[in-house]
Structure 1
Amino acid sequence: MPYRFWTMILSAIVVVVSLFLLDFATAELPPNYSFMHEATKAPRVSFYDYIIIGGGTAGIPLAATLSANYSVLLLERGKAPYDDANITIVSNFGRYFFDTTPDSPSQQFIVENVVNSRPKVLGGGTAINAGFHSRGEEHFNEEAKLTDYDLIQESYEWAEKVIVFEPVVQAWQTALANGLVEAGVAPYNGYTLDHLTGTKVGGTLFDENGTRHSAADLLQYANPEGLSLYLHATVHKILFRLKVKSKPRAYGVVFQDALGKKHVAYLKGGKSDEIILAAGAIGSPQLLMLSGIGPKDQLDALNIRVVLDQPYVGKDMADNAQNVLFVPAPFKVEQSILQVVGITSFGSYIEAGSGFNFIFANLSEYEGYHYERGGFIIEKINGPVSKGELKIVNLDPADNPSLTFNYFNETEDLDKCVRGLQTILDAVNTEAFSDYKLSNMTNQDILDLNMKLPYNLIQHGNISITLEQHCRDTVRSMWHYHGGCHIGQVVDDDYKVIGVDALRVIDGSTILNSPGPNPAASVLMLGRYMGVTILNQRLADAVKPYADW
């Protein structure tokens, strides 16, 4: 048999063995990654098999997996999470949402008078979220076009065995769980990572010492010889070759370091080499447009050369609306972050935290109610049905684009919120939760108190008249942004950008509906799943000429 055939067979063995070994990696743990550097250290020109834009929830599993057998460049616009106590220590959760310094891991923006934040840190949303880990619904796999159910399971477990822990559930969270069951969010399903209707305890990214483990920790799986990771690397555009009789082909990226110097990274030129956008639901459609793929009218307005007139880029953006009720207790309660979830049958998720201020960084006391004496109970609608749009406003990728989410624009979303808030009130009034509620406090008292808290910038009265009005007046972001690069519109079933070659988008921007109480588990799985799928596709393409031997 020809030498080339045996070379391909040996390559296949290397891929399989590498993946097996990386599953049980014992490489040096973070933050001492040998492949991680500031972008100021990057060469001015470099070449790779894969270039991944975005070191977040999807980008890290992709990079770690693909590095098993190929050279991978991973570009992250933020810093590493390990030296920031506000990120790593559970009791500091939420403080970074009010950090407006240039190197904040959270970048603020305002949509419809609701203050939002997007991650700007290695680890993405897993480095700044509440750490709750719960797998998505079964229909998410269908929407995401994931058909290998063994690989789905293996991909979940691949991430979970490194960064997910069973929380220690104390009295306040236990009382809430029992109250939810008593209020009808049944059955009680105990501790499980699976999506099950009823009340359960989910996983957490915080270990028994209260230390966060984000997606960045999954880089211990990476092949150090195959991965180059640069921090504070802001990608300005993707480069395309334009030919008259063929589709545009991505071949490189331009990125800028913290000192303002430009660097160019190219694909090596192999038939299967690719650039993968994993910059999140806001960053990916924004960067596609800045690179010339998007609605022609927006591109022309900013004098961007049109690579592909793609009207669906930026369309159908969504954020899951969140509404919160602070429920005062008669005594100081223990600190707890999101651990218990009520997964209702009508499309609302109910979660909570107690004993510390994870909603407002500077709210120590309001009208005599101290946040340490009580807890915040959160209602999030699934879906949602309400959609908005992303538009670029300038050529600076570091700036926030213009966004609308149209919170509660659809009656279905508002109805879910109303039922969710009513379920919270029902749970608060159960026998199971009675020790943690002021005995003389009525539902109206709770609602009126929360109308006075600074949940958003919406101007409204101080009295809650109806639950519908309460939902609209106190709406907050759940930070679960998705859309803008939907499957079937912007990308195909393999996440390849329709109409161009050598470019994929793999992240929350492709998601139709945010999966589960928190999408992070599903996006982590998606990154690993597609990384393995790409390796297998590349291997199949390599041996295809010899398929009949």
Structure 2
Amino acid sequence: MNLVLSTDAKPRLKWTPELHQRFAEAVDQLGGADKATPKSLMRVMGIPGLTLYHLKSHLQKYRLGKSQESEFCTENKEEDYREIQAVEGHFSGEISDATDTQNNESLQIAQALQLQMEVQRKLHEQIEVQRHLQLRIEAQGKYLQTVLQKAQETLSGYNSSSLGVELAKAELSQLVSMVNTGCPSPSISELTEAGGFSLKAVERKQMRGTICSVESSLTSSESSGRKEEKRPMKQSGDPQKSNRRSLELSLDIYPEGKPRSTDASNQANRRKRSGIAISDGVISSPNLRIRANHVPKEKRSNLDCSGKRLPYMTSDVNEVSGKSFDFIVVGGGTAGCSLAATLSERFSVLLVERGGSPYGNPLVLDKKYYGLSLILTDEYTSVAQSFISKDGIMNHRGRVLGGSSAINFGFYSRASDAFIEKVGWDKGLVREAYEWVESRVVFKPELTLWQIVAEFGLLEAGILPYNGFSFEHIEGTKVGATVFDERGTRHTSADLLEAGSPENMTVLLKATVKSVIFQNENRNETTACGIRFIESNGSPDHTHEAYLNQCKCSSSWGDVILSAGALGSPQILLLSGIGPHEHLRDFNIPLVLDLEGVGQGMRDNPAIALLVDDKPQNRLPDTPQVVGIADDFKIIVEAGIVPVSLNATRMTIAAKVAFPASKGKLALNSTDPRENPSVQFNYLAKEKDLEECVKMSQLLQRVARSQSIAMFLGTEHRNNLMSSEDELRKSCRKNVRTFYHYHGGCAVGSVVDKDHRVYGVQGLRVVDGSTLLESPGTNPMATLLMLGRYQGIRILKERTDAGAFGTGQIP
């Protein structure tokens, strides 16, 4: 092949179609444009006169053309073909080196402009992130400044010339100066970083001052005996709450001195004791966490660093072992905390919780991590304990102070008036108990974008009328309350403990109750007189005991009250020898009382969820705030964005059957109380439930097809929407899930009476969701929070009428 040169003064090579064809074949032979080099092309083509200069220039343009071709091609094959031909044609004509250079420069300019636009977009996003981060840092800095100044003022009131106080004053002055000049400590900077989730705790760099200890050393006369006034429900814009929640640090308080005695002979010591401690060396506050091991116990007040009046907390079983109390509440869950707080107003109370403290745990407190506690579970230590029912459905139960109120979706709504009337509760007292809860841990939410979309979708699907924001369980679409405040901080039932009398309450953490202790002196009357418990992370054979005061006296007025939840309470009764005789015999458990109803009548609300988006995405989770109540209260519809992994979420709409007829049962798996019992709910076993599920699925599909939600609905899910009743029946059986609202096992009428006393046993009650014959219809958290307060008030009145006076201090 002869080369064709131009007739210019400086001849240039003309790339004829034949020459370009040879070039393209050589490139393909060498494995493509990316692998071919000018030297290898010259060797393969073997054309005399063809130089490396010619090949280098042409190869560069060929690669560029291929790159443009792959970047801008579409799915239309014909368009692809035309684009490729156009690119190929670019090389097939007679193109001079000068023209090629000009085209090359144009393409490079276009690429540079595109790159510049992308860089500008990313810079804009980073500036927005930095702006929000700066606002958070400034807010936290202001809060820290007020804390430091308050601590400085408090220290100035001490006339002590001790070296420790002088050093504390100097270091506090230095910290105040750092904050005032805009130099926050590394600990604060780390805590205010935006972006992804880390399972590692933020590095706890010690602030060498004594801020928390000094602030906590306010005299007990300023805090003790001060009754909390009744407050209205906290609004999202509550400035007091805003100030209190703006900083999160960690506080380590180390044990010192002898363990506090709790028996009647040491009441004087107990009166001197005020404040909070955890004897294994750690107490967590939601806001601050600073070393204060040098502060004498008698100097500690009833206030933690966030201003909460919390009871004495310990995870050292030896501090409680062998001691006596007026009441023992087993389970610091949704109902247990409000119950213990109420009883502590007049009596000494031991509250035993198998999990740890929620304070300082972002998986519990931080809304942006909500739902991750259901993913990050283990056998004995995680805040949520997972289990798979015999129906094959994954479920969870709380294992932390606050119980399931610490791991749920946070939606708050009262039970209907019809439910209250059906169970026979005093309506006036119920309302009073609800208001007591709402004034402390309940907030009015600001709707997120997805919740606004869901709200319109529910209305467009015909779930009417629109009721706006309401506590009440009323038919139609409404906005419910939440336990997340305006800063996205969760308030669990554990926060209700500050409403009680801290001097009368002891909270034992990380201790699992193995059984109730009974005495039966006259053989006709079995009486509960204490509990047997183990360390949650210890040996099941190494047991400890705690007792009721005057348990040997026939006029005993103390109670052991089980509040361990729908799984925990029937499990403890069975382990204590109360339940079906044959089942207890299988585990060699001595029979105390043959009570067939224990573990029976277990129910869970069947639920169906529809995924809206086509795939998981990296977005923040969104708790349900809007609810649709339809079909004469029988169907509840909610929407949320739930995590499916540590860094991905899915948009969902879900519904549950409010009043299932199908029932199952609970049985022991082991005599180790830390292991989950075996439970079967028999979802959709009754035809009535299956029919309700079909109606519920049809309603869900109407919501999904609504104009508001349809625009978010992925193509795959839109195509999967069904229409025939037969398809929906099959789908219900296949896809039924839990709403985590299981109940029963110690139902009123079969295991306990209307006052929640266990039949056939003195001094033993059950107060939690296990006593419910049916669900309150809506999410049960509000009703269980209320139930603890409601029953606590009734017990106090009962004891007052009987003339009983406890060993606790009366505020």
Q: How high is the TM-score relative to the length of structure 1?
A: 0.86
Give me the whole-angstrom Cα distance separating, in 2, the residues matched to 1:397 and 1:490: 20
Counterpart for residue 356 of structure 2: 79
Decide which moves more: 481-490 or 264-273.
264-273
The structural deviation recorded for 1:469 is 1.2
2:595–2:751: 8 Å Cα contact kept in structure 1? yes
Partner of residue 695 from structure 2, selected from 413, 419, 432: 419
1:81-120 to 2 correspondences below 5 Å: 81-101=358-378, 102-111=380-389, 112-120=391-399
The structural deviation recorded for 1:446 is 4.8
Give me the whole-angstrom Cα distance separating, in 1, the residues matched to 2:342 and 2:309: 19
Give me the whole-angstrom Cα distance separating, in 1, the residues matched to 2:423 and 2:688: 23
The structural deviation recorded for 1:172 is 2.2
Question: Identity percentage over the alignment?
Answer: 39
Counterpart for residue 64 of structure 1: 341
Alignment of 1:284 with 2:585, yes or no, is: no
> 1:126 aligns to what SS in structure 2?
helix
- Give 1:402's aligned amino acid: S
Counterpart for residue 531 of structure 2: 253
Give me the whole-angstrom Cα distance separating, in 1, the residues matched to 2:531 and 2:317: 16
Higher RCO (C-alpha under 8 Å, 6+ residues apart): 1
1:83-482 to 2 correspondences below 5 Å: 83-101=360-378, 102-111=380-389, 112-147=391-426, 149-257=427-535, 258-260=537-539, 261-269=542-550, 271-328=556-613, 335-346=621-632, 347-354=634-641, 357-358=642-643, 360-361=644-645, 364=648, 371=649, 375-438=651-714, 443-446=718-721, 466-482=727-743
1:237–1:291: 8 Å Cα contact kept in structure 2? yes
Relative distance call for 1:538 and 1:333 in structure 2 (3 A) is same
- Give 1:308's aligned amino acid: L
Relative distance call for 1:477 and 1:69 in structure 2 (3 A) is same
1:317–1:482: 8 Å Cα contact kept in structure 2? yes
Alignment of 1:530 with 2:804, yes or no, is: no
Determine which structure has the larger helix proportion and give its number.
2
Relative distance call for 1:334 and 1:502 in structure 2 (3 A) is closer
Give me the whole-angstrom Cα distance separating, in 2, the residues matched to 1:531 and 1:414: 38
> 1:172 aligns to what SS in structure 2?
helix
Alignment gaps of 5+ in structure 2: 1-224, 233-301, 806-811
- Give 1:128's aligned amino acid: I
1:379–1:417: 8 Å Cα contact kept in structure 2? no
Give me the whole-angstrom Cα distance separating, in 2, the residues matched to 1:22 and 1:501: 36
Relative distance call for 1:30 and 1:496 in structure 2 (3 A) is farther
Relative distance call for 1:442 and 1:248 in structure 2 (3 A) is closer
Give me the whole-angstrom Cα distance separating, in 2, the residues matched to 1:289 and 1:510: 15
Counterpart for residue 13 of structure 1: none
Counterpart for residue 68 of structure 2: none
CA offsets 1:272-295 (integer angstroms, 9 cap, x no match): 111101010000011001001100
Relative distance call for 1:414 and 1:477 in structure 2 (3 A) is same
Relative distance call for 1:464 and 1:186 in structure 2 (3 A) is closer
* Structure 1 runs of 4+ with >6 Å offset: 329-334
Give me the whole-angstrom Cα distance separating, in 2, the residues matched to 1:124 and 1:499: 29
Give me the whole-angstrom Cα distance separating, in 2, the residues matched to 1:156 and 1:190: 20
1:326–1:446: 8 Å Cα contact kept in structure 2? no
Q: Considering only aligned residues, what root-mean-square deviation do their CA atoms show, in Å?
A: 2.7
Give me the whole-angstrom Cα distance separating, in 1, the residues matched to 2:484 and 2:322: 39
Give me the whole-angstrom Cα distance separating, in 2, the residues matched to 1:314 and 1:131: 27
- Give 2:598's aligned amino acid: V
Relative distance call for 1:474 and 1:498 in structure 2 (3 A) is same
- Give 2:483's aligned amino acid: L
Relative distance call for 1:222 and 1:519 in structure 2 (3 A) is same
1:351–1:379: 8 Å Cα contact kept in structure 2? yes
1:22–1:222: 8 Å Cα contact kept in structure 2? no
> 1:109 aligns to what SS in structure 2?
strand
The structural deviation recorded for 1:361 is 2.5
The structural deviation recorded for 1:41 is 4.9
The structural deviation recorded for 1:246 is 2.4
1:60–1:219: 8 Å Cα contact kept in structure 2? yes
Alignment of 1:504 with 2:790, yes or no, is: no
1:172–1:334: 8 Å Cα contact kept in structure 2? no
Determine which structure has the larger strand proportion and give its number.
1
Relative distance call for 1:19 and 1:134 in structure 2 (3 A) is farther
Counterpart for residue 42 of structure 1: 319
Relative distance call for 1:333 and 1:95 in structure 2 (3 A) is closer
Give me the whole-angstrom Cα distance separating, in 2, the residues matched to 1:312 and 1:319: 17
> 1:542 aligns to what SS in structure 2?
coil
> 1:190 aligns to what SS in structure 2?
strand
Give me the whole-angstrom Cα distance separating, in 1, the residues matched to 2:396 and 2:462: 33
CA offsets 1:375-413 (integer angstroms, 9 cap, x no match): 200111112111000011221111111111001111221
The structural deviation recorded for 1:320 is 1.0
- The alignment covers a number of residue pairs equal to 501
The structural deviation recorded for 1:42 is 2.2
Relative distance call for 1:334 and 1:446 in structure 2 (3 A) is farther
Relative distance call for 1:317 and 1:39 in structure 2 (3 A) is farther
Give me the whole-angstrom Cα distance separating, in 1, the residues matched to 2:584 and 2:230: 43
The structural deviation recorded for 1:54 is 0.3
The structural deviation recorded for 1:516 is 2.9
- Give 2:570's aligned amino acid: P
Give me the whole-angstrom Cα distance separating, in 2, the residues matched to 1:404 and 1:434: 36
Counterpart for residue 3 of structure 1: none
Relative distance call for 1:40 and 1:274 in structure 2 (3 A) is closer
Give me the whole-angstrom Cα distance separating, in 2, the residues matched to 1:328 and 1:100: 26
Give me the whole-angstrom Cα distance separating, in 2, the residues matched to 1:394 and 1:336: 38
Q: Which has the larger radius of gyration?
A: 2
- Give 2:350's aligned amino acid: L
1:144–1:487: 8 Å Cα contact kept in structure 2? no
CA offsets 1:78-112 (integer angstroms, 9 cap, x no match): 01112221111112122122223331011111111
CA offsets 1:303-350 (integer angstroms, 9 cap, x no match): 111111001100010111121101128999875211010011241100
> 1:150 aligns to what SS in structure 2?
helix
- Give 1:131's aligned amino acid: G
- Give 2:761's aligned amino acid: V
> 1:165 aligns to what SS in structure 2?
coil
The structural deviation recorded for 1:129 is 0.3
CA offsets 1:146-177 (integer angstroms, 9 cap, x no match): 12x22111100111111111111133211221
Relative distance call for 1:143 and 1:485 in structure 2 (3 A) is farther
CA offsets 1:40-62 (integer angstroms, 9 cap, x no match): 35232000000000000111011
Alignment gaps of 5+ in structure 1: 1-17, 365-370, 449-462, 545-549
Give me the whole-angstrom Cα distance separating, in 1, the residues matched to 2:782 and 2:226: 21
